[in-house]
Structure 1
Amino acid sequence: MKTNLGRAALYLTTAAAALCGGAPAFAQDTGGTLGEVVVTARRVQERLQDVPISITVFNQEQLTQRNIVSPTDLAAYTPSLTTNQRFGSEKSSFVIRGFTQEAGTSPSVGVYFADVVVPRAQGGTTSGNTAMPGAFFDLQNVQVLKGPQGTLFGRNTTGGAVILVPQKPTDRFEGYVEGSAGNYDMWRTQAVVNVPLAETLRVRLGVDRMQREGYMKNQSGIGPKDYNDTNYWAARFSIVADLAENLENYTIFSYNNSFSHGYAPRLLACRQTGGVGAAALLGPLACGQIARQAARGDGMRDVEINNPKPLIDLRQVQGINTTTWNVSDTLTIKNIVSYAEFQERSSFSLNGENFVFAGRPFNYILLNPAPTGAQAAQSTFTEELQFQGRTPDDKLVWQAGAYLEISNPTGWSQGNTAILLSCTDIRAVQCLNPTGGGQISASKTETYFNNKGFYAQGSYKLTDQLSLTAGIRYTIDKTRGVSENTRIRVRPGAVGGFQDIVCNDTLRFNVPDGPDAGSSPDPLVVGDTSACHFQIKTKSKKPTWLLGLDYKPTDDVLLYAKWSRGYRQGGINMTNVGLEAWGPEKVNTYEGGAKTSWAAGPVRGVFNVSGFYNDFTDQQITANLIAKPESGLAGGAAIVNAGKSRIWGAEVDASFRYERFTLDLGYAYLNTTLKAISLPTLPADSPFSQIIATAQVGGDLSFSPKNRVTASASYRLPLAEDLGDISVGATFVHTDKQNATGAAASPLYRLPATDLLNLNLDWKNVTGRPIDVSLFATNVTNEIYPVGVLSSFNSAGFEGVLIGPPRMYGVRLRYRFGA
């Protein structure tokens, strides 16, 4: 099947190229004519074909047809965009052109909603900094910008940016109610109403609710029957007030809550012998679990996990206010201020096991909420003042501004992680220690961010066809981390006993066991962690810039070349002794491209192509930590500045239309190589004996498939107008094999190639009424494919994979009212 579908995609691409004189552009019009898409990629409204950036755009109709409700759904249809789903779909992060967000790092792809960066979070696992479930309804469009956007959007956009533009209140009374139902007991309800309260006041309210059973079935008999379910609420209220003829105030309030069982890995590989440390114990136990799976005849969507109450609970509230003053025809002043809070409470098995030792079930690493607080609890305040202008002759178009971001904890980010323990109530230390090496890692951290940026960018017409663009931004990033992390070393024997409590830092990590339960030579009391207070700060000041030339021989052709610098700030993770901080990384990108469109003749279309080369240094990568036996630690994973990479490739986005037929094609070629790794040297008193990089010199970067193709075709049936408008469509996506961890020492590190097919049928204005009906199906061939790997083979002696969604299908009904 894969071979046939792959050949079909190749033939389809070749045919389209022959018809169009090249491969087409993925971005379609948002209600206007083809090639007239309006985007805000440079913080102002411009025609897509006039912007010298490689961009893929989806309007709301396209998002709905493709059932895009999460970041992973968006990435499935965008050739240059992938996601890191290590901790589940709702906690996934974007990857563009090989730039990946590892656990604890800042995102390499900035995500913006209504011109404001999404709220921060700093938990023990990747969290926040991305689009929440429920963020993809009632949008004007979604824009995926590829390559560094470090001038106008700031730091942490080394890979690019994803911009969500919400629908703005209009001056018409209108709205819709929509319901969807499908397999896996899926149902979704949306409702939107737009009301002009007065000539100068307009409001819009929308809600989105979705539930779906999980597709990973739990065979342990412990906890829920399924994982990878969907369960979210989203609500949005926006208001536009015309305060004066040239003064507009636009406010958005949004709420998102996702509450699910979380993700479930399937164990596939184990080390029966030869393991070191924890791997010597866990490898054979994992082999036993894999044997049980085989004896039952389990499929790839069956798992065996012994967590009684798993959950991933994400909550986000945000308010955004934008005031726009059109001072004159040549000057606009805009102020954007926002405040948001993000919180996560989770309980999940990090590696998805069901182990038994000495007749007792236990977990390798089970993350849990603390008695109070949340694993991530952060507020984010932003303030940006923009000046946008042009000369009267339009030769110079410019903008400048200042940006401030303050992100502070709303409380301790804290969680209790059971390691090699069997717990009934981890909060009360109701745990058994069957292996003799069990402990509770009680993390308690606060992270403070202060970011300032000053920028200016302008385009000057050297001639009527040739323009020079230059921009620069200077960013000052400060991060401060506070921790009072402790480790409760549980006593073998009776439930509830513990040997002692020690601080998880370099001064106290090897405190001897106390003679009595609940005591130590340096006594600590559960709940009183002030003796473990530890603080660390990082700071960086970096310029980013853009220098480019644009040439427009005609209105429908744009040629461009540019050099841009991007940088991602360093960070802090307080859970790894002696490796709590890392520095910033930077990239120099050289890019050239062409954008063309045509409307003459029977075939109308656009064809956009770009080529790029990235020089990537001080790369932030994940390294596995092997603990010394006497440390009492179970190992860990740290972020280190260890890499230097070379990334180059090409992208094609295109579209064409012939009468009732539309074809959109996208293609991305990506060639990545890790050129060097330089790991830090561990001091003699470190609790860790070895650092192992989860990447290999000469290998590809993670989540960077060499070839990716998307093809979407639709055909409108020639029906009488009073019957409505019926169209049938199909989308095919081919993705080459790719690394999930970058570590060749891991037996499962390489994800196989995939070929996915989605279908949809849409009937608008059913028999002339304001009713729309749709049928949809995703992954029609029900392909079983991994989307992530648990990189624990070296440290734990076993490994598993995360499986992508199966065939999903359903029906959608929408009733529209008003204008």
Structure 2
Amino acid sequence: MLLLSAAFSGASVAMPAVAQESVMAPGEIIVTARRVEERLQDVPISMTVYNEDQLQDRNVAVASDLATYTPSLSVNTRYGPEKATFAIRGFNQDAAAAPTVGVYFADVVGVRAQGGTASGNSVGAGSFTDLQNVQVLKGPQGTLFGRNTTGGSILLVPTKPSDFLEGYVEGTYGNYDQKRVQAAVNVPLADTFKVRVAVDRNKRDGYMKNHSGIGPDDYNNVDYTYGRLSIVADLTPELENYTIFHYSESDTNGYATRYESCDRDAASPFVGGSLTRYYTALAACDQIDRQTARGDGPLDVEVANPDPRIYLRTWQVINTTTWQASDMITIKNILSYGEYREQAGFSLYSDNFFVPNTPTTQYFASQGGLAPGDRFQYITLDTQPGYDAAAESTTTEELQIQGRTLDGKFNFVIGGYLEFSRPIGWNQQRTGIYGNCADPGTLDCSGGIIPVTLPAGAIPGIPIALGGSAALISQSRTKMSFDNHGIFAQGTYNFTDQLALTLGGRWTFDKIVGYSESSRYTLGTFPLVGTIPLQQVCNDVLNHPTDNPLADGQGVCNTKITQKTNKPTWLIGLDFKPTLDTLVYAKYARGYRQGAVNFTNPGLETVGPEKVDSYEIGAKLTFRGSAPGYFNIAAFYNDFSDQQIFGALVAKPDSGLAGGAALINAGKSVIKGIEVDSGVTLFDMLRLGAGYTYLDTKLKELTPPTLSADSPFAEIIPRGVVGGPLTYSPKHKLTLSGDLSVPAGDAGVLKLGAVFAYTASQFVDGNNKIPSYSLLTLTAGIDDIGGTGFDLGLFANNITNEKYRVTSGGGYESSGIQDFAYGQPRMYGVRLKYNFGT
């Protein structure tokens, strides 16, 4: 009741996701949202800031964890939290699209990840350890930041080496056998040379329990190692060199989703239905019936994958050189190189399928196909031996010149940005479809649901025709190169101490060069013969209708696509400060997101860029005195065109494909809303915060491209409904927080904390809607126990143990199944931290 009354008392109505010091002393929080250090309350951007204590209390270990507590920020964890994609204010990332939200570490964008499944090009697991703060910027930020994005940016600011010998060691033990150790040490080797080292090792069992009896006992586990080395060298009093090397390695069982519904009336192929949809829909119904008979709950799954794995390795080195050329000019150069590698083998739809027992399946069994009760798999991805599912490097170079005039009326930033992402190997996988495969990566399969006939005499010594069953193996390898360059300038002129005008502009040049070799095996299994390859054809049936890779090699299926775009973006803003503690602003910005290339969909491999015109007005108010705090509010309106929309592809019956997922320019939308963010400190010990976002998204136009007559696909089904909302765009998100710090004499400082987060219902897969959910986090502890430097803390996330859906795999249109992923259940544990040094 205290939290609620404070949150809506008029002086504090918004966001808890701010650094704790900002509530106590708003002028002391320094952010870099405009590439220079500024007071949080002086920046005309709607943003959220977390400090290290808040990240720890919320158990934020990977970037996707932020979305639970940040209004306006949503996340799609379709392929697991380490490969999450983000949405701010309804700007989503689907399929192979470029991110709408840029994730930056020490001012450098995340290393590109160009595997076969979507990824947000984020930072590696563990990157949230030992941070100074995290800043979530809302709205287009392309004028000053590396890659152009339409939704916003997330900035991770690592703790910089300092002049003090200090550090900490922290251990955590929690339920699901969580064991986590974090440590950091800062060593000033000289007045001009300082080093800081940070490490994080985190391991936890999965919370999705597997009942198939095959493979691991659980999914959605955590197992990563992270390390960082930071060095600051003051080469001269005016020249600083700051180098960071960080490394992340995550090796888990991957994710699992739970089947919730199926098409029990799937049409038989004998009455015009799809053979593959008939088998998968009814097999999914049987799986749901087994779940019901066991009395399974939302966190129980049934996945028949003997060896699932998602292995991610990311490393990056960042060098920032800052030269104070004069009192008026600062020159900064930021150079980075990083690599991303991924190996992945998992069941795309978390299935444990058996051939259903119907007259239709009995007939195909009589023709040599799989018999009712035989196992088959829907779509199983696997890494081909000797290759990575993704292997990409990213090099960036950014030069900034920051300056101001002698009278202080005009300050500016100008610069240039270069980014080169290059393959460091093939992105190569084999995918088993409709088969019974022990290992699709090595073509170890036996049978499938597709009936086939081996002609008489095709095998020496077999004079009769044999009926059998077949599985499909899609073998795809790609190499992707990206060039993203830009020149930019932004300046603010202060007409008076109260009134300022900001103008910014950028021209971005993007280029994608993609090369693909993609084919499909048909592996037939026959009595007396076993499993043999019947044929291998190119998946790109439009450009390679007659090529024979089985005879001539995979290279005959080559396709090369080059896409170039260049666009201007800009910013116009007006700021008015009637007092030191009051800021009112209005701005108009053009946002842009580059196009994309996706080879998995013949005839629909490319998508063009999208743009948005963003309008925002806002106010930031600071309160001082006995109850210091702040109140920030922003209203925004976005006109979104050439929108990149995800569309489900329904394959033609004779195509041999399992459907697809295309990215198409099909949409126009309007996105509008209000964000409120505030906090207050009472009695010098109780910090209260609240945040609320109202988001109204409406799809105005949805026109999919026309398929050619020779396309392997029969239909494109765009995800969304004209007049309906966009995906990952809950209409309401509310967060309330309270932190109490009470000195307890020689015993230390008693600390209590609570965070309540509410997320309204939302669409997560075009036409799939998940219900609303509320999460409560509680923390308690004593800092500096008895003056020893030890901190002891208890934490509990999702203390009510709510079972809530977070995303959907989709696929009802093409396969008659509907599955959902679930968020973390109650997580609790104890932390012990030792602080040493100054």
Check if 1:388 corresponds to 2:402: yes
The alignment status of 1:503 with 2:557, answered yes or no, reads: no
Amino acid at match of 2:443: V
TM-score by length of 2: 0.93
Structure 2, unaligned runs of 5 or more? 268-272, 356-370, 451-469
Residue 434 of structure 1 corresponds to: 448
Counterparts of 2:395 and 2:599 in 1: how far apart (Å)? 23
- Name the amino acid aligned to 2:379: I
Q: How does 1:737-816 map to 2 (within 5 A)?
A: 737-743=761-767, 749-816=768-835
Which residue identity lines up with residue 474 of structure 1 in the other structure? W
CA contact (8 A) 1:390 1:397 kept: yes
Distance apart, 1:504 and its partner CA: 1.4
Letter in 1 for 2:168: Y
| SS in structure 2 at match of 1:492 | strand
Report how far residue 23 of structure 1 moved. 4.4
SS of match in other structure, 1:717: strand
Cα shift at 1:80 = 1.1
> What letter corresponds to residue 424 of structure 1 in structure 2?
A
Q: Is the 8 A contact 1:588 1:616 kept in 2?
A: yes
1:582-621 deviation digits (Å, cap 9, x = unpaired): 0000000000000011112x21110000000000001111
How do 1:106-185 residues align onto structure 2 when only pairs under 5 Å count?
A: 106-127=98-119, 129-185=121-177
Are 2:551 and 1:560 aligned? no
For 2:114 and 2:743, the matched residues in 1 are separated by 54
Matched, 1:449 2:449: no
Match of 2:503 in 1: 470
Q: How many residues align?
A: 793
Q: Is the 8 A contact 1:347 1:367 kept in 2?
A: yes
The one-letter code matched in structure 1 to 2:799 is V
SS of structure 2 residue aligned to 1:308: coil
Residue by residue, what CA displacement relative to the aligned partner does 1:100-148 show, whole Å, maximum 9, x if unpaired?
A: 1112111000010000001001111113511321010000000000000
Could you give the per-residue CA deviations for residues 704-746 of structure 1, whole angstroms, max 9, x where no partner exists? 11011000112223522x1100111111001111111122xxx
- List per-residue Cα deviations over 1:140-186 (Å, max 9, x = no partner): 00000000001001444200000000000011111111100000000
Alpha-carbon distance, 1:17 to partner? 3.2
Alpha-carbon shift at residue 19 of structure 1 (Å)? 5.5
Counterpart amino acid of residue 191 in structure 1:
A
Instruction: Report the CA distance between 1:21 and its aligned residue.
Output: 6.4
1:635 maps onto 2:671 in alignment: no
What is the 5 A alignment of 1:713-752?
713-720=738-745, 722-743=746-767, 749-752=768-771
1:292 is paired with a residue whose SS is helix
**How far apart are the structure 2 equivalents of 1:673 and 1:508?**
38
In the alignment, the residues of structure 2 paired with residue 559 and residue 431 of structure 1 have an alpha-carbon distance, to the nearest angstrom, of: 65
CA distance in 1: counterparts of 2:666 and 2:337, whole angstroms = 35
Decide whether aligned partners of structure 1 residues 688 and 19 sit closer, same or farther in structure 2, where only a CA change above 3 A counts.
closer
Which of 323, 327, 330 is the equivalent residue of 1:329? Answer: 327
Deviation at 1:67, TM superposition (A): 1.1
Partners of 1:350 and 1:753 lie apart in 2 by 25
Deviation sequence 1:340-380 (CA, Å, 0-9, x none): 00011111111111011224312110111012211111000
Q: 1:338 aligns with which of 336, 339, 353?
A: 336
The reply on whether 1:16 has 2:7 as its aligned counterpart is yes
Cα deviation code 1:239-259 (max 9, x no counterpart)? 000111100000000100111
TM-score scaled by structure 1? 0.95
User: How far is the alpha carbon of 1:451 from its aligned partner?
Assistant: 1.2
- Which SS does the other structure have where 1:704 is aligned? coil
Provide, for residues 254-277 of structure 1, a one-character-per-residue CA deviation record: whole Å limited to 9, x for no partner.
Answer: 100111000000001100123542
Partners of 1:703 and 1:235 lie apart in 2 by 32
Mapped partners of 1:309, 1:379: distance in 2:
28
1:731-772 CA distances to partner (integer Å, 9 max, x unpaired)? 1001111111122xxxxx111010111100121100111111
Deviation at 1:563, TM superposition (A): 0.1
Tell me, in whole angstroms, the C-alpha distance in 2 between the residues paired with 1:809 and 1:606: 32
CA contact (8 A) 1:509 1:631 kept: no
Query: Is this contact kept in 2: 1:510–1:630, CA < 8 A?
Result: no
- Specify the alignment match of 2:729 in structure 1: 704
Post-superposition CA distance 1:216-236 (Å, at most 9, x none): 000000000000000000000
| 8 Å contact from structure 1 (residues 103, 124) kept in 2 | no
Aligned-residue offset at 1:15: 4.1
Change beyond 3 A, Cα 1:573–1:363: same
1:522 is matched with: 548
**Bigger mean CA offset, 794-803 vs 435-444:** 435-444
SS at match of 2:41: helix
> Tell me, what secondary structure is at the counterpart of 2:279?
helix
Are 1:605 and 1:657, in contact at CA under 8 Å, matched by a contact in 2?
Answer: yes
Measured after TM superposition, the shift of residue 531 of structure 1 is 1.0
Identify if the C-alpha distance between structure 1 residues 383 and 69 changes in structure 2 by more than 3 Å, giving closer, same or farther: same
CA drift of 1:817 comes to: 1.1
Separation in 1, partners of 2:531, 2:91: 45
Equivalent residue runs for 1:204-223 within 5 Å: 204-223=196-215
Report the more deviating stretch, 220-229 or 530-539: 530-539
Q: Give 2:305's aligned amino acid.
A: N
Aligned CA-pair RMSD:
1.5
Per the alignment, do residues 495 and 424 of structure 1 end up closer, same or farther by CA in structure 2, a change over 3 Å counting? farther
- Flag the 1:708–1:524 CA change in 2: closer, same or farther, 3 A: same
Counterpart contact for 1:71–1:83, Cα < 8 Å: no
Q: Quick one: which of 292, 299, 302 aligns to 1:301? A: 299
- The one-letter amino acid of 1:331's match is I
- Aligned amino acid, residue 17 of structure 1: F
**Whole-Å separation in 2 of the counterparts to 1:212 and 1:381:** 33
Residue of structure 1 in register with 2:615 after alignment: 590
Distance 2:16 2:491 in 1: 27
**Distance apart, 1:417 and its partner CA:** 0.5
Q: Does 1:534 align with 2:567?
A: no
Question: Is the 1:29–1:37 Cα contact (8 Å) retained in structure 2?
Answer: no
What pairs with 1:570-589 in structure 2 (closer than 5 Å)?
Answer: 570-589=595-614
In structure 1, the residue matched to 2:676 is 652
Q: Given the alignment, which residue of 396, 410, 433 partners 2:424?
A: 410
**Residue type of the partner of 2:800?**
T
TM-aligned CA distance change 1:719 to 1:441, over 3 Å: same
1:480 and 2:497 aligned: no
- Contact 2:595/2:610, CA 8 A, preserved across alignment: yes
CA deviation digits over 1:497-526, x for unaligned, max 9? 111111111346655xxxxxxxxx835259
Give, in whole Å, the separation in 2 of the partners of 1:26 and 1:169.
25
Q: Which runs of 5+ in 1 are unaligned?
A: 1-7, 512-520, 744-748
Judge conservation of contact 1:502–1:508 (CA < 8 Å) in 2: no
Instruction: Please tell me whether the aligned partners of residues 610 and 643 of structure 2 are also in contact (alpha carbons under 8 angstroms).
Output: yes
Measure, in 2, the Cα distance between the counterparts of 1:318 and 1:154. Answer: 16
Q: How far off is 1:86 after superposition?
A: 1.0
| Cα distance change on mapping 1:194 and 1:14 into 2, 3 Å | same
Distance 2:12 2:549 in 1: 76
The residue aligned with 1:319 is 317
AA aligned opposite 2:430: N
Tell me, yes or no, if the aligned pair for 2:12 and 2:689 is still in contact at 8 Å: no
CA distance in 2 between partners of 1:173 and 1:433 (Å): 65
CA contact (8 A) 2:16 2:735 kept: no
| Separation of aligned partners in 2, 1:25 and 1:365 | 42
Q: Secondary structure at the match of 1:453?
A: strand
Contact 1:25-1:608 within 8 A present in 2 as well: no
